[in-house]
Structure 1
Amino acid sequence: MDWRVKPLDAILATAEKKSLHRTLGWFQLMLFGIGCVIGTGIFVLTAAGAQKAGPGLMLAFAIAGAICIVAALCYAEIAAMVPVAGSAYTYTYTTMGEFLAWTVGWALILEYAVAASAVSVGWSGYFSGTILNQFLGIQLPPWLAAAPLALGGAPGGFINLPAVAIALLITWLLMIGTTESARVNAVLVLIKVAALTAFVALTLPSSDFDVERFNPFLPAGVFGGFGTGVGAVGAAATIFFAYVGFDAVSTAAEETKNPQRNVPIGLIGSLLFCTVFYILVAAGAIGTIGGQPIMGPNGIPFPAGSEELARQCALPQYAEALVCSNEALAHVLRMIGWSGVGNMIGVAANFALPSVILILLFGQTRIFFVMSRDGLLPEGLSKIHPKWKTPYVVTAITGSLVAVAAAFLPVGQLADIANAGTLYAFMMVAIAVLVLRKTQADRPRSFRTPFIWVVAPLTVAGCVFLFFNLPAAAMLVLPIWGVIGLFVYFAYGYRKSQLARGIVEVVPMDDEEPLTPGV
């Protein structure tokens, strides 16, 4: 096979001639990463993670965070060397060739779209529980507020209407917004950090905090078993979903001032900040009201988001359990006598989670933009609106698909599916760093990953390890999606790509306007 490796110099030259505006500094990149990382993983998946691991959720956050740290070190080196849009897709293109780059880009499309759907579902739980129920006294009928039972949703569910609404609203904002959505994101990040700080301050020193609630610490063990998705490692495989934020930072490298300095700071800084918060919040939630999973008759926790768990949660003895809550953090504070603050946490989540959807959709449109720029997808997909200066066509298509998935799938299943694509992309980035160290050893590197021949293999091993601890259904999604991608590639991209036509460097049309960032 002709691997068609795109020269790194050509990629950099293309980015300069057909480029995005460089407007972002390190602080904005950190906000960018924090805005995406702190969201569903802690506001929503705390309950799903506790059902998989119990108090071992804290260990799960540490496992996922450790793998993300070594992955972020790989990202930092290569993103500083190749400061263009496209993230793992572009890095693979310049090291391992077009075919593997296509598989990575196709996986990233799955990752961002499904992740945005998962966050939309997570937002729906807080909106229904806090805004509608607590403040307005409105109880949405189950058939309008949850996914169908056949797909693992709550009994009586048909469509998650609030999730559809927020997905379409954010899509509209991204289509029309440039500076507007950037300002919205900054405000939402501050709201969610303040909310989580208040949660930690009220739970860790609380008189309700009892270390006995951490016993047993690992009720499902460290490894729940192949394909079960439970245990501390199974929970880590699920909540790894939340860390996609630092990958989104790298998609903004082409829009960053002094990317050689600012991209590594944004990547690693946002990741470390968020990981510490995750562990503290998990400790506060479990220590105050407990987080033991509801066990099945075989001694294994019922799958998160499953029909069996939904039926158990409908029983009176589990009505107040952490693992049954759709708005975990607000629920914890209400249980320990801080109902007012709990409601405010719910309000904060209603404001915070849309920023995650916004950044995920932003990241996907930038992947589409670069794949289209390389000729692997039709150029019309990334057409720029003459007034809004955003890729409105692909944004509208993506947003519509996100809304459909959010309507009919529960958050836990969506997170696991998104992780399959995420882990594949992270693994390929680690391999790409090693390839560049061998093939372009003399090229200047403003950031060099320390102990790269240890860090990169650890990243690969960690990603493979977590992938095989996903539920079996989630593991199957990536190869099935990959087969669909191969049909698309050989039907279109293989013949139409710029390299296939002998075009190494892409020059913009005279009347083409540069793309401005959507957040």
Structure 2
Amino acid sequence: MILDRVKPLDAILATAEKKSLHRSLGAFQLMLFGIGCIIGTGIFVLTAAGAQKAGPGLMLAFVIAGLVCIVAALCYAEIAAMIPVAGSAYTYSYATMGEFLAWTVGWALVLEYAIAASAVSVGWSGYFSGTILNEFLGITLPQWLAAGPLALGGEPGGFINLPAMVIALLVTWLLMIGTSESAKVNAVLVAIKVTALTLFIGLTLTSAYFDPDRFNPFLPAGVFGGFGTGVGAVGAAATIFFAYVGFDAVSTAAEETKNPQRNVPIGLVGSLLFCTVFYILVAAGAIGTIGGQPIMGPNGVPFPAGSEELARQCAMAQYSGALVCSDEALAHVLREIGFSGIGNVLGIAAFLALPSVILVLLFAQTRIFFVMSRDGLLPEGLSKVHPKWKTPYVVTAITGVIVAIGAAFFPVGQLADIANAGTLYAFLMVAVAVMLLRKSDPTRQRAFRTPALWLVGPLTIFGCAFLFLNLPFEAMMVLPIWSAIGLLVYFGYGRSRSHLGRGVVEVVDEIGGQDHDFPIDTPESHPDR
């Protein structure tokens, strides 16, 4: 049976039970934590791509993506509170649906985090080139060094995005030698981001340049552009879903929350609602001041974001200064309406904050890879820990090179769409896992129970599937192709070498660093039967 290997939940929870976590977080603290985790990459780097897909309907797109995130977050909270150990959705799936489906989830997460790190690197490159080099140092990086072959903006046909590649490799190196984020530094960066965006909203919405007529037509590409087209408000929602990734960090804090049944949903829903309103105001300010209508193709459909056709249009004088053509959209808006100094401050905020996001994404990706390797599903050499640095340096180096290549040659919009494909699949599987656990293990202690799971669970599955089908066709196809490669690896290597298949589950105590072997009874552990 292909679905016969399910990792015992008791073995996984043996790790969590050794932790003694103090319940100290309230609803307001969770909300602040969530806002800090969510606001960042997407709003800085995807505003232009979202506007090209939906025009002023970008504001509706933020609402649609936010609603899908809310129901997904409620599912995530229950299972994260039950299984607070390494591995995220991969571990949850292993404990409920078995090794095969867990492999598909882990493999998708590897894609998600790596491609997301590439997307953030490209976003950082735009602010580095536009704000740091151009505005402050008066240096204009040649187009062939500032953009990949299909990158958005300026003259089409760049060769390589050198800054994006360099920052990806630099963060990889820092991660390999064991550099970690300081909580205080991260808090300062969050404050900088929120302050800069609040200034942006205040300046744009009160600006003399603000004109309500710029919102007409509100939905130039419609609400639903059609499956696989990636346009319209729903298509834009599938892309800017990237701007919400990070909310799952709130759900992992359920074990440390006072009265989690009340405070976790308040923290999750509250932070997502705050960010949704914040994002809508940012979009309104950008579009209302300089306009955000998409550049239409000859068939009346917006040119694909990040395409060579759009880059050619952006190079024309008539679209000079257009929001949809900018590599650093928010700083660009402020410069266009006479606030160059504050625009540069916002650019500096992005320049400072985005590398920390790359680090977190690379950290998460390498740890998923690490856990899969530790389970025997990937070569154990990948989980080798450096004797001096105490980090999984092999898998970190491999990941970093792949991330750097993606950042060097692909535009941010396409990278975000591909990353979202893996994210949406993982969130869908988490909803399935929660519902299965309710049926298979109803008496298990749950620090938080998803309210109305009979409704929230199916809504999560439908919402994630719907957004996935509204990604551009090319982005949708990456996931099945990547999954097919993963199946070859699983059946060619992982299944026969799996620790679970050989009858041993290894659980690592994240605090004490101790290994615990739990012998289990499987057909593979008794070949003589």
Q: TM-score, normalised by structure 2?
A: 0.90
1:161-208 deviation per Cα after TM superposition (whole angstroms, max 9, x unaligned): 000111112112222345545444333222111111111111122222
In 2, are the aligned partners of 1:375 and 1:493 still within 8 Å (CA)? yes
5 Å matches for 1:349-364? 349-364=350-365
Distance 1:322 1:150, change over 3 A: closer
Q: Given the alignment of the two structures, is residue 37 of structure 1 paired with residue 38 of structure 2, yes or no?
A: yes
Q: Which residue identity lines up with residue 479 of structure 2 in the other structure? A: L
5 Å matches for 1:315-394? 315-394=316-395
1:70-128 deviation per Cα after TM superposition (whole angstroms, max 9, x unaligned): 00000011111111111111111111111000000000000000010011001101110
**Amino-acid identity (%):** 79
What stretches of structure 2 of length at least 5 have no aligned partner? 516-529
SS of corresponding position for 1:504: strand
Find the aligned partners of 1:484 and 1:25 in 2 and give their Cα distance.
Answer: 44
SS of corresponding position for 1:449: coil
Distance 1:57 1:215, change over 3 A: same
Deviation at 1:468, TM superposition (A): 0.9
In 2, are the aligned partners of 1:117 and 1:167 still within 8 Å (CA)? yes
Find the aligned partners of 1:152 and 1:490 in 2 and give their Cα distance.
Answer: 43
Deviation at 1:55, TM superposition (A): 0.3
Find the aligned partners of 1:368 and 1:260 in 2 and give their Cα distance.
Answer: 34
5 Å matches for 1:68-79? 68-79=69-80
Deviation at 1:372, TM superposition (A): 2.4
In 1, are the aligned partners of 2:78 and 2:448 still within 8 Å (CA)? yes
In 2, are the aligned partners of 1:80 and 1:263 still within 8 Å (CA)? no
1:312-334 deviation per Cα after TM superposition (whole angstroms, max 9, x unaligned): 11111111111111111011111
Distance 1:117 1:25, change over 3 A: farther
Partner of 1:517: none
In 1, are the aligned partners of 2:150 and 2:306 still within 8 Å (CA)? no
Q: TM-score, normalised by structure 1?
A: 0.91
Deviation at 1:35, TM superposition (A): 5.0
Deviation at 1:260, TM superposition (A): 9.0
Find the aligned partners of 1:37 and 1:22 in 2 and give their Cα distance.
Answer: 24
Find the aligned partners of 2:333 and 2:163 in 1 and give their Cα distance.
Answer: 23
Find the aligned partners of 2:404 and 2:37 in 1 and give their Cα distance.
Answer: 18
Find the aligned partners of 1:400 and 1:74 in 2 and give their Cα distance.
Answer: 34
Q: Given the alignment of the two structures, is residue 141 of structure 1 paired with residue 142 of structure 2, yes or no?
A: yes
Find the aligned partners of 2:151 and 2:181 in 1 and give their Cα distance.
Answer: 40
Moved more, 404-413 or 441-450: 441-450
5 Å matches for 1:304-323? 304-323=305-324
5 Å matches for 1:39-58? 39-58=40-59
Q: Given the alignment of the two structures, is residue 448 of structure 1 paired with residue 461 of structure 2, yes or no?
A: no
In 2, are the aligned partners of 1:83 and 1:260 still within 8 Å (CA)? no
Deviation at 1:273, TM superposition (A): 3.5
RMSD (Å), alpha carbons: 2.7
In 2, are the aligned partners of 1:467 and 1:475 still within 8 Å (CA)? yes
Find the aligned partners of 1:413 and 1:179 in 2 and give their Cα distance.
Answer: 29
Q: Given the alignment of the two structures, is residue 81 of structure 1 paired with residue 82 of structure 2, yes or no?
A: yes
Partner of 1:161: 162
Find the aligned partners of 2:326 and 2:78 in 1 and give their Cα distance.
Answer: 40
Partner of 1:492: 493
Find the aligned partners of 2:110 and 2:154 in 1 and give their Cα distance.
Answer: 25
Q: Given the alignment of the two structures, is residue 11 of structure 1 paired with residue 7 of structure 2, yes or no?
A: no
Partner of 1:406: 407
In 2, are the aligned partners of 1:164 and 1:406 still within 8 Å (CA)? yes
Deviation at 1:400, TM superposition (A): 1.4
Aligned length, in residue pairs: 509
In 2, are the aligned partners of 1:175 and 1:390 still within 8 Å (CA)? yes
Find the aligned partners of 1:404 and 1:22 in 2 and give their Cα distance.
Answer: 40
SS of corresponding position for 1:506: strand
5 Å matches for 1:115-514? 115-149=116-150, 155-177=156-178, 179-247=180-248, 257=256, 261=260, 267-268=268-269, 270-506=271-507
SS of corresponding position for 1:359: helix
What stretches of structure 1 of length at least 5 have no aligned partner? 515-519
Find the aligned partners of 2:467 and 2:124 in 1 and give their Cα distance.
Answer: 26
Moved more, 332-341 or 109-118: 332-341
SS of corresponding position for 2:207: coil
Partner of 2:519: none
1:472-513 deviation per Cα after TM superposition (whole angstroms, max 9, x unaligned): 11111000000000111112221122210101353679x967
Find the aligned partners of 2:152 and 2:345 in 1 and give their Cα distance.
Answer: 31
Distance 1:263 1:98, change over 3 A: farther
Deviation at 1:151, TM superposition (A): 10
In 2, are the aligned partners of 1:31 and 1:186 still within 8 Å (CA)? no
SS of corresponding position for 1:337: coil
Distance 1:427 1:508, change over 3 A: closer
Deviation at 1:150, TM superposition (A): 9.1
Distance 1:405 1:159, change over 3 A: same
Distance 1:74 1:193, change over 3 A: same
Deviation at 1:279, TM superposition (A): 1.4
Distance 1:402 1:267, change over 3 A: farther
Q: Which residue identity lines up with residue 211 of structure 1 in the other structure? A: P
